[in-house]
């Protein structure tokens, strides 16, 4: 009975998918063919500085976080001792923000111990920035609204990346003065907005900041002795063999620090960029319908990637600041 029910359910799902393809074709639901671009597309220039769509979206994310923090703390009393009980009880947006901050603080304290006051501002900022950057890429219009461009044949100096601006698109609908029968032939979309985490420049910058702060806290916790692990010659006191082993381990330590940059940047970039491509392909196959279930998956992936980035940074901070070469003991 269960096997029969399973077969009927599978058949219904297949029929529903086929029906979606048929209905999409009958209704003429089309979106521009997905163009997978690893490089962020330029929008405009400020002098010689190029503003890309991912950088523009990053600015929006930063402004959003600042505005939310201002609204969440606008009713907090400046003088806690003279404030009434009702003034101290959080509500609405403040309650939500305090819940998130307390959860992050508790997680940081459980790993970092007495280093929490030093680590927490950086760790919380990384998490909030990354998760907002990941999730903002799932909003309607991000990656789907932008300039509609069509390459045309040019010669000489004009041939270097020249494109002809023709209009813009919104939710897959082409808004341009071109004849309808030619509006979707050879055109591609340069979106106004792009998920920051889908740009390697963003993830690489975060990785460099994280690894730099690892070295900073390593020196702060251990002093100059921290750098001994990158050039450890203490083994030569026991003989040439142990000295050579110490040098070899030091080289591995240096390589591991460089590998952290690569690991941090490509892990976040790869997962978010892959999810973006998946949504584009699904939207192209069956517009507006089949991609909906994948948004739930991408919400989960965006959260997990932000959490992983934060936790790895926190663990590296703690290990670097902990005493390994005669510095301050970690508790």
- Per the DSSP assignment, residues forming a β-bridge with 175 are 168
pLDDT band at 141 (very low <50, low <70, confident <90, very high): confident
Q: Which residue did the predictor score with more confidence, 182 or 291?
A: 291
**Domains of the chain by residue range:** 34-75+88-143+196-331, 145-191
Q: What is the DSSP letter of 205?
A: H
How many other C-beta atoms are found inside a 10 Å radius of the C-beta of residue 280? 20
pLDDT tens track for 60-111: 999 999 999 888 887 766 655 555 555 556 667 788 888 899 999 999 999 9
Q: Look up the pTM and report it.
A: 0.73
Give the model confidence (pLDDT) of 24-53 as tens digits: 555 555 555 556 677 888 888 888 888 888
Cβ neighbours for 131, distance < 8 A, ≥ 6 positions apart: 302, 303, 306, 307
> Would the pLDDT of 193 be above 90?
no
Query: DSSP per residue over 132-191, as a string?
Result: HHHHHTTSTTTTTSEEEEE-----GGGGSS--EEEEEEETTEEEESS-GGGTTSS-EEEE
């Amino acid at each position: 009975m269960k096997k029969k029910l399973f077969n009927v359910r599978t058949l219904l799902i297949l029929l529903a998918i086929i029906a979606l393809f048929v209905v999409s074709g009958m209704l003429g639901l089309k979106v521009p063919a997905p163009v997978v671009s690893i490089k962020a597309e330029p929008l405009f220039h400020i002098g010689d500085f190029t503003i890309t769509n991912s950088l523009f979206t990053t600015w929006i994310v930063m402004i959003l976080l600042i505005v939310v923090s201002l609204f969440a703390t606008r009713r907090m009393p400046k003088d806690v001792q003279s404030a009434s009980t009702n003034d101290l009880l959080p509500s609405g947006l403040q309650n939500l923000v305090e819940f998130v901050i307390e959860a992050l603080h508790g997680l940081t304290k459980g790993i970092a111990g007495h280093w929490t006051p030093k680590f927490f501002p950086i760790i919380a900022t990384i998490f909030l920035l990354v998760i907002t950057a990941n999730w903002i890429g799932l909003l309607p219009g991000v990656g789907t609204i932008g300039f509609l461009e069509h390459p045309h044949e040019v010669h000489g100096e004009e041939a270097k990346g020249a494109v002809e601006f023709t209009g813009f698109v919104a939710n897959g609908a082409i808004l341009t003065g071109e004849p309808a029968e030619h509006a979707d032939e050879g055109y591609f979309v340069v979106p106004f907005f792009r998920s920051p985490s889908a740009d390697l420049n963003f993830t690489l910058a975060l990785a460099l900041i994280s690894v730099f702060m690892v070295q900073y806290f390593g020196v702060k916790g251990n002093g100059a002795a921290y750098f001994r692990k990158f050039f450890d010659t203490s083994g030569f006191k026991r003989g040439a063999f142990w000295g050579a082993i110490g040098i070899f381990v030091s080289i591995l330590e240096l390589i591991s620090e460089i590998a952290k940059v690569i690991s941090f940047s490509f892990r976040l970039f790869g997962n978010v960029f892959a999810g973006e491509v998946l949504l584009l392909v699904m939207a192209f196959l069956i517009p507006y319908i089949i991609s909906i279930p994948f948004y739930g998956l991408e919400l989960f992936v965006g959260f997990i990637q932000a959490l992983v980035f934060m936790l790895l940074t926190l663990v590296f901070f703690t290990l670097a600041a902990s005493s390994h070469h005669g510095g301050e003991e970690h508790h």
